[in-house]
Amino acid sequence: MLFKKSAELPTAETALPGRAEALATDENHFVSGNPLKGPYPDGFETAIFGMGCFWGVERIFWSLPGVWVTSAGYSGGITPNPTYEETCTGRTGHTEVVKVVFDPKVITYAELLKAFWENHDPTQGMRQGNDVGTTYRSAIYTLNAEQQAEAEASRDAYQAALTAAGRGTITTEIEPAGEYFYAEAYHQGYLAKNPAGYCGIGGTGVVCPIGVGVEA
């Protein structure tokens, strides 16, 4: 029963217990060589996005100029230090996310939001394409009040664009970030380590009318 996937988010009573110790993961990013857990350069900022399978999402962001390091992880849930297998059951409450450490003098949070909205379909609820389950829900976890306000404004702008294009209603979860848990080492930089690996990421084709053009 442990690995039976749930379609609903767990409560504190039904969530898996997890563990006190962090999972082993890469020390440095496979592509950039920069440390996943820091220290990060002074003045750099952090963003956290969930857009479906984190393998493809991480590649989108590590390819952007101004992004210093990315990592795959789990956030938005209850279970401490969950494993990949546990999150896939839906009983940890987490979604697969990517943490992005960036230089705001080179790339702005608005530009990251533009890449976020345009590179997945944020209208699908608890799924992303063929990937079904709570771990694949669309999410923005904000690190301060400014990010929260900017993320909400970008959602409203993109919703207007989607509505004009005859698309559905955004289901993206936008909330202050809770604890972020680094995923196992084999998930980090996955599509660089495995160039022919699975990537289920795909956008709606609708341009997000915020920021400036970002090539993803």
Looking at residue 105, its amino acid is: K
Q: φ, ψ for residue 207 (rounded to 5)? A: -75, 135
Using DSSP's 3-state secondary structure scheme, residue 147 falls into helix
Report the DSSP beta bridge partners of residue 127: 132
Catalytic residue among 53, 88, 199, 208: 53
- What is the spatial distance between Cα 181 and Cα 8, in angstroms, rounded to a whole number? 21
Place of tokens 């984190």: 54
Q: φ, ψ for residue 35 (rounded to 5)? A: -70, 130
53 a catalytic residue: yes
Cis peptide before 65 (omega within 30 of 0): no
Place of tokens 């990537």: 199
Residue 110 contacts by C-beta under 8 Å, 6 or more apart in sequence?
Answer: 150, 154, 210, 211
- Residues annotated as catalytic are 53
